[in-house]
Amino acid sequence: MTIIVTGGAGFIGSNFIFYILKKYSQHRVICLDKLTYAGNLATLKPVIDNPNFSFCRADICDREAVYKLFEEVQPDIIVNFAAESHVDRSIEDPGVFLQTNIMGTAVLMDACRKYGIERYHQVSTDEVYGDLPLDRPDLFFTETTPLHTSSPYSSSKASADLLVLAYSRTYGLPVSISRCSNNYGPYHFPEKLIPLMIVNALNDKLLPVYGNGGNVRDWLYVEDHCKAIDLIIHSGKAGEVYNIGGHNEMSNIDIVKIICRELGKPESLITYVPDRKGHDMRYAIDPTKIHSELGWLPEIKFADGIKKTIKWYLENRSWWEAIISGEYQKYYQKMYGDR
């Protein structure tokens, strides 16, 4: 079995590559990644010498490069993680989100049609459903919840989802889509809430909480997400959408307080800053379908997952210090300097 994993030098894609290479000794994995600011070859160090692994630097929007790779490696499965993934960046500059997240998805699926594959899997997000009110804890996103997006990021992901379903219906392409809640774990880029707070707290810097910190996200340990995608690509039905989430809703302020406690840092580091524009209130996934059809259940409890994650950031300072010492400083100044 040959799998092309796009965006495999990023957070979830790299964890997925580690998981697949460990679990299947016969699978060949090719990582296709542009190495944007979010992609990092150092992340793939643990597998770079594995004979079942290879790396190709390319843009998923580059039709020629994508077709060339398909011709060379003749993949059976494509798992598309490649995306611009940060909501705040999409609010500053939507263009690249439309290009990579929509046009890139189309190029990959055109290659699948041209060369033939067993499965194209699109890694999507719960953000395509918009948000839920805080005072209706009985409401959850199911696979039939209408798409109703808030940010340029989520709109680009929803557009890609529609295109994937259109390629299924129009061309009979064997596709699947997963829509997962917020992930956390090793190799998470420090612009996102959990790693940003860990890294800032370790450096005794202020912890910027948007608005009043009451927004709720449904957190899932990254390996549980990887296990779910593995089940979908090997046993899930073509043409289907699967929601992934672990019924682990928490407010942002509670997360930040847990990180302070785990690191022995004072809550006085917390600072409330102006809210994100269009900020989604609450995400909550109903994972009944993937549980009943494929037997998936999350295995890592948040209390354990956050400890493992913090330990990883403590033991892998060189990974994140290299990131925050470069371009990231300019990003941080731009986003948080006057906030």
The interface partner of residue 44, options being ligand TDX, ligand NAD, none and the CB cut-off 5 to 8 Å by kind, is none
- Write out the binding residues for ligand TDX, residues 73-102 only, by CB under 6 A: 85-87
What's the residue count for the chain?
339
Asked if 193 is part of the footprint of ligand TDX (rule: CB under 6 A), the reply reads yes
Q: Whole-angstrom Cα distance, residue 216 to residue 41?
A: 32
User: Which one among 106, 209, 222, 323 touches ligand TDX, defined by CB under 6 A?
Assistant: 209
- Cβ at position 153, least distance to ligand NAD in Å: 8
Inter-residue contact 149 to 89 (CB < 8 Å): no
Distances (CA, A) of 309 to 56, 152, 199: 28, 29, 12
The CB-side HSE value for 263 (13 A sphere, CA atoms) comes to 27
Is residue 210 near ligand TDX by the rule CB under 6 A?
yes
Enclosing H/E stretch for 207:
strand 207-210
Query: Residue 112 or 269: which CB sits closer to ligand NAD?
Result: 112
Least gap, CB of 204 to ligand NAD (angstroms): 26
Residue type, position 203, single letter: N
Residue whose Cβ sits closest to ligand NAD: 10
Give the tokens for residue 65.
């490069």
Q: Which does 217 bind (CB under 5 to 8 A by kind): ligand TDX, ligand NAD, none?
A: ligand TDX
**Which residue number, 8 or 265, has a Cβ lying nearer to ligand NAD?**
8
Binder of residue 34, out of ligand NAD, ligand TDX, none (CB less than 5 to 8 A by kind): ligand NAD
The residue number whose beta carbon is nearest to ligand TDX equals 125
Active site residue: 153, 242, 313, 331, which one? Answer: 153
Cα 113 vs. chain centroid, distance in angstroms?
25
Which of the residues 33, 127, 223, 230 is marked catalytic? 127
The whole-angstrom separation of Cα 15 and Cα 245 is 17
Q: What's the 3-state SS for 288-314?
A: HHHHHHHCCCCCCCHHHHHHHHHHHHH
Give first-to-last CA distance, the chain, whole Å. Answer: 49
Active site residue 283: no
- Assess 323 for contact with ligand TDX (CB under 6 A): no
β-pairing, 53-57 vs 77-80, is unpaired
Question: Judged by CB under 6 A, does residue 150 bind ligand TDX?
Answer: no
Residues that bind ligand TDX (CB under 6 A): 85-87, 125, 127, 182, 192-193, 196, 208-210, 215, 217, 252, 276
Active site residues: 126-127, 153
